[in-house]
Amino acid sequence: MMGHASEVSVEKISKEFEPILLEGEQIEKAFRLIRDMLVFTGKRLILVNKYGLTGSKVDYRSIPYASIKMFSKESAGMMDLDAELKIWLTGEATPTIVQEFRKGNNINEAYRVLSKHVLK
């Protein structure tokens, strides 16, 4: 995933995710990139990739927090308008997920949710 993410209201996307969430599983934070999303639940990270002109074909990729071996954030500096979140999965030498956040969007919230679940 590449591009600029911005936070999206959990209430706005709850209906879309209802069919794939486990009983009692709740969405904690979600970030949108045009049509794609990065969704953090209490049990996993869900990467959503919408295909086609209308976005009618959707790939939901679930990543259990236990398979995340490392993550980092590079905060925006004085001259840099963006911040970047990188996530490495077990067995991978390079980050599997790289997501840019625009300055002013709260990359710290995404980092905090990852910390909460990965560093248990």
Nearest one of 39, 33, 45 to 16, comparing CA atoms: 39
Give the containing element (helix H, strand E) for 107.
helix 107-118
Q: What is the pLDDT of residues 62-91, one digit of tens each?
A: 999 999 999 999 876 655 567 889 999 999
Q: Strand, helix or coil at 102?
A: strand
The yes-or-no verdict on residue 2 having pLDDT over 50 is no
* pTM for the predicted model, two decimal places: 0.85
8: tokens are 């999206």
Q: In whole numbers, what is the pLDDT of the chain averaged over residues?
A: 87
Q: What is the CA radius of gyration of the chain?
A: 14
Residue 4 backbone zone (phi > 0: left; psi -120 to 50: alpha; other: beta):
beta
